[in-house]
Amino acid sequence: MQHSNSPHILVLPFPAEGHIKPMFNLSKLLSHRGHRITFINTHHNHTRLLQFTDLASFHTQFPNFHLTSITDGVPQHLPPNEFELIISPTSRSNVAKEFRQLLATLVRKPSWWGPPSCIISDGLMSTVSMSVAREFRVPIIAFRTYSATATWVSIHVSKIIEEGLMDMQNAEDVEKVLTSIPGLENFLRECDLPQILKLKPGSLYIDFYIKETLAMTQASNLILNTFYELEAPIITKLTTIFTKVYTIGPIHTLIKTQVKNNISSCLHLRQEDKSCITWLDNQKEKSVLYVSFGTLAKVSHEQLLEFWHGLVSSMKPFLWVIRHELFNGKASLGHNVPIELELGTKERGLMVDWAPQEEVLTHTSVGGFLTHCGWNSTLECIVEGVPMLCWPLIADQTINSRCVSEKWRVGIDMNGACDRLIVEKMVKNMMENQIERLTISANDIAVKARDSVKENGFSFCNVENLIKDIGSMNVRK
């Protein structure tokens, strides 16, 4: 069988939307540049992708892009995409077994695409991918879908906990400033660290976090969806651990500069409600607060009502994304909604199950974003120069929020507030009192983000270097 000379890349994301999206965008870019891609989703996410993505348009534009799937390791009678189930040792073992079988087949009985030239693995799939890559002698590159700062903190704190030098569970002062993370001395507080670090040593979550992070450092090279001008000092720190660090972000902006008709080939794992764009068309410029807590976060009914009261009382127009699975154990708001909230929302608000977020953030009527500070949302906001009101919940979001509010100064941290009066006050403060200051800072960083993906920009050049290095791996295989 004759194989193409183009590199064949296996891409293995962690099974969460915030991880899949940037890795899918990078895969499209590499495919556009002539590489052959095998993108490996879990069965559940693969089915969702097939349901909501225009595959005919996609494969017309990317004929060398193969979509396949393996198990997420969760038994069929249990709910898919539940984080606790996905990261359990049994599930991870099942995933590793299927990934090994897939790689063995591709290496020993390659298709017309040829054997894999390299693997691009999510940093949170490292215990699955690293040992298998070594076994079959396939080069591997880690892709951490966090910011450089959150990645550096993850690596450093994991080592500290592993060595028994930090006991987050017994931390008495959450406002205590940390001095033990090089490059971030006197910047982060204990409350800015991921919440799972406060669990008991040996817990499922903390074991997963530490093992995956430390396994990721076995890779020689690291890809990050950030840009050099945003996090230069920390990116430099990461080069002491990895031979090469490719900062290629914002990848969602970079791909638009290189791939024509990118919208028709976008990844969709949910049905978007585009009616919100028409609603935005009828609002005043910079008047609307966009509200979304991402794809994973869950809130209680009480928390949602507090936010709702605060938003309505702020008297600001708002567009609010409320996923059907946003509530803890509940599928809907039910009928116990105060009449003043219904009337206030009808007058100046709109709620949708899911929105085309990139399009929303580019809209001229959007003046701010009340966000969970997931890294994709943060980058999308930064590129468009939209100020942020930060309510971080899980994972790296607290670190992102700290950087947004105190380092880059393009947003305000709500400090975990979930009281209707505080929500009202903070929305008004950002949209009225602080908007000029925040917008100036946001626009300044937005220019740097867009410049980075232009020809000869840092991110543009890093993608070129990545493509060149993958080509060298293909020659050596």
Distance, in Å, from the CA atom of 424 to the CA atom of 464, rounded to the nearest integer, reads 47
Q: For tokens 């396994």, what's the residue?
A: 215
Over residues 274-293, the pLDDT tens digits come to 999 999 999 999 999 999 99
Residue 2 maps to a domain: no
444 is catalytic: no
Do 237 and 295 fall into the same domain? no
pLDDT band of 169, cuts 50, 70, 90: low
Cβ–Cβ under 8 Å, residues 405 and 187: no
Top-confidence residue, 403 or 59: 403
Do 369 and 436 fall into the same domain? yes
Residues linked to residue 330 through DSSP beta bridges, in sequence order: 327
φ/ψ of 185, rounded to 5, equals -55, 135
How many contiguous H segments (helices) and E segments (strands) does the chain have? 19, 13
Do 239 and 287 fall into the same domain? no
301 is catalytic: no
Residue 301 maps to a domain: yes
> Which tokens go with 123?
């940093």
Do 225 and 325 fall into the same domain? no
pLDDT at 37 over 80: yes
The conformation of residue 177, written as its DSSP 8-state character, comes to B
Top-confidence residue, 126 or 344: 126
Measuring CA to CA, which residue among 264, 420, 257 is closest to residue 344? 420
Do 247 and 369 fall into the same domain? no
Distance, in Å, from the CA atom of 115 to the CA atom of 121, rounded to the nearest integer, reads 17
Q: Which of 8, 19, 35, 372 is catalytic?
A: 19
pLDDT band of 227, cuts 50, 70, 90: very high
Which of 55-64, 278-287, 410-419 has the highest mean predicted lDDT (pLDDT)?
A: 278-287
pLDDT at 80 over 80: no
Q: 4-8, 166-170, 355-359, 379-383: which range is least confident on average?
A: 166-170
Q: 3-12, 78-87, 169-178, 224-233: which range is least confident on average?
A: 169-178
Measuring CA to CA, which residue among 267, 357, 355 is closest to residue 49? 267
pLDDT for 172: 61
pLDDT at 171 over 60: no
Residue 3 maps to a domain: no
Q: Which of 35, 46, 122, 252 is catalytic?
A: 122
Do 261 and 328 fall into the same domain? no
Do 184 and 121 fall into the same domain? yes
Do 307 and 345 fall into the same domain? yes
Number of domains into which the chain is organized: 2
Do 207 and 296 fall into the same domain? no
Do 352 and 398 fall into the same domain? yes
Query: CB 451: neighbour CB atoms within 10 A?
Result: 15
CATH classification of the domain holding 466: 3.40.50.2000
Residue 120 maps to a domain: yes
Do 337 and 456 fall into the same domain? no
Range of the domain at 45: 8-268+452-476
Over residues 314-371, the pLDDT tens digits come to 999 999 999 877 765 444 555 567 888 888 888 999 999 999 999 999 999 999 999 9
User: How far, CA to CA in Å, does 137 sit from each of 98, 129, 477?
Assistant: 18, 12, 9
pLDDT at 476 over 70: no
Residue 126 maps to a domain: yes
pLDDT band of 170, cuts 50, 70, 90: low
Do 402 and 334 fall into the same domain? yes
Residue 117 maps to a domain: yes
Measuring CA to CA, which residue among 322, 251, 331 is closest to residue 18? 251
Residue 141 maps to a domain: yes
Cβ–Cβ under 8 Å, residues 322 and 353: yes
pTM of this prediction?
A: 0.92
